[in-house]
Amino acid sequence: MENLVNQHIKALKSRVADPTRSGHAIYLDRNELPYPPSPAVIQAISDAVPLLNRYPDTLGGSLRKTLANYASVAEEEIIIGNGSDDLIELIVKVFMAPQEEVLIPNPTFPVYALSTQVMGGKPRFMKRGVNFDLNIKEIINQVTEATKIIFVANPNNPTGNLVDRQDLKMLIENVNCLVVVDECYYEMSQQTVSDWINDYKNLLVLRSFSKSFGLASLRLGYGIANAQTIDYLYRATQIFPVNTLALLTGMAALTDVEYAKEKIKQVCQERENLREKIEQMGFGVYPSATNFIFVNTKPLGILSADLVQRLREQNIWVRDFGGKLGLEPYYFRTAIGTMDQNQKLQDALGKVMAHG
Ligand SMILES: Cc1ncc(COP(=O)(O)O)c(C=O)c1O
């Protein structure tokens, strides 16, 4: 068997299952919305249950049209997938052949590199600047014949910062490869370049229901691009990439955008509050356009791995980035929780610092 497995798959690490999550801990390590989804969504799920003996609609069914209205584009300019993760892999599958390259300004969302490796390609990492800004001219210079895709998360995960619209324009205009602008946190940042899809055929925008609509578990994402690109992507999807619960629930979430907006408003207020408090403790905190903050522990001389472990002992989960994605051993990311959860995080951080 061993010799039958593709070399590029053998090169990947084995995966270990995360422990099942209980209600006892505070989970701030996956950038989730801390609130349940809208009542309209909960109703739609129960209405959809009797339909589960049937296969789902293909090509996203009516959700495609509803999303087109929401995003102010045409139905043919939307593709629906099983989370943005699924669409990232699909994009790589369609645009990159084995041995070709994908350019990734790091630190960023690790699924871009993973999907490239799974498809037998080469992720080429470029280092972001001091405040995790993109050096657009340098990226343009690094593009070669072998470069098929550039992934830009906007806002970026884990750093939370936005790329300037003019910079994105400069990038898209000056490269021949596909530029994927991943707007997973769009409703929080309110920044989009989806209005450019017909000006630039090499632009593809990704969005998700996971964060802003509180539907991470459902796995529902979508892409926006010119109709030709969407047609090629749909040629390579599975026949039923998205399940009926997700399709109907996505429709329901879009009938109650006000609910999402209200929750996002609370999260953004809490974010600024938490940011201020953590800064007062002496940590470095980067500005964020989304529902998480990126924290530098270096000013306090604490290794982030130690800090994250000490928080875990107090049942609070944040994500350690120390030594990861090309970073020094001093960074962690925390999602913004409810007011109560954020207070508990501050208290726990206070305890860690008090006990050295
Ligand atoms: C930038 C970015 N893109 C995509 C995703 C994945 O989103 P989904 O849940 O839709 O697969 C995430 C999740 O954390 C993310 O941060």
The per-residue pLDDT for range 51-83, each reduced to its tens digit, is 999 999 999 999 999 999 999 999 999 999 999
Ligand 1 neighbours by CB, cut-off 6 Å? 31, 83-85, 109, 153, 157, 182, 184, 208, 210, 216, 221
Does the bond joining 158 to the residue before it have cis omega, within 30 degrees of 0? yes
DSSP state of 77: G
Give the residue whose CA is nearest to atom 7 of ligand 1.
84
Domain count, the chain: 2
Ligand 1: atom nearest CA of 153 is: 1
- Model pLDDT, residue 117: 98
Residue 7 in any domain: the answer is no
Let me know whether 247 and 271 are in one domain: no
116 pLDDT exceeds 80?
Answer: yes
| Interval between CA 314 and ligand 1 midpoint (Å) | 27
- Model pLDDT, residue 356: 63
- Model pLDDT, residue 355: 77
Confidence label for 92 from pLDDT (cuts 50, 70 and 90): very high
Confidence label for 354 from pLDDT (cuts 50, 70 and 90): confident
CB 204 within 8 Å of CB 225 = yes
Go through 220-256 and write b for each residue having 16 or more CB atoms within 10 A of its CB, e for each that does not: bbbbbbbeebbeebbeebeeebbbbbbbbbbbbbbeb
Q: Which of helix, strand or coil describes residue 126?
A: strand
Per DSSP, which regions of 176-291 are E strands?
178-182, 203-208, 221-224, 284-285
Average per-residue pLDDT in the chain? Answer: 96
Pocket test for ligand 1, best of 85, 161, 215 (most atoms within 8 A of CB): 85
| Interval between CA 228 and ligand 1 midpoint (Å) | 24
| Interval between CA 181 and ligand 1 midpoint (Å) | 12
Let me know whether 350 and 209 are in one domain: no
Q: Rounded to whole angstroms, how far apart are CA atoms 268 and 336?
A: 8
Domain span at residue 314 reads: 22-35+258-354
Specify the pairing of strand 319-320 against strand 331-335: antiparallel
| Interval between CA 157 and ligand 1 midpoint (Å) | 8
Residue 238 in any domain: the answer is yes
Q: Rounded to whole angstroms, how far apart are CA atoms 195 and 203?
A: 10
- CB-based burial label for 68 (10 Å; 0-12, 13-18, 19+): middle
Phi-psi region of 238 (alpha: psi -120 to 50; beta: other; left: phi over 0): beta
Let me know whether 205 and 297 are in one domain: no
Residue 17 in any domain: the answer is no
Residue 350 in any domain: the answer is yes
| Interval between CA 208 and ligand 1 midpoint (Å) | 7
Specify the pairing of strand 284-285 against strand 292-296: antiparallel
CB-side neighbour CA atoms (13 Å) of 121: 27
Cα–Cα nearest to 66, from 235, 222, 278, 199: 222
The per-residue pLDDT for range 273-315, each reduced to its tens digit, is 999 999 999 999 999 999 999 999 999 999 999 999 999 999 9
Over residues 13-37, the mean pLDDT reads 93
CB 227 within 8 Å of CB 76 = yes
Percent of the chain with pLDDT over 90: 96
The per-residue pLDDT for range 318-353, each reduced to its tens digit, is 999 999 998 999 999 999 999 999 999 999 999 998
Out of 198, 224, 255, a domain closes at 255
139 pLDDT exceeds 70?
Answer: yes
Strand order in 319-320's β-sheet?
A: 284-285, 292-296, 331-335, 319-320
Let me know whether 187 and 65 are in one domain: yes
Q: Rounded to whole angstroms, how far apart are CA atoms 227 and 212?
A: 26
Over residues 2-9, the mean pLDDT reads 94
Residue 150 in any domain: the answer is yes
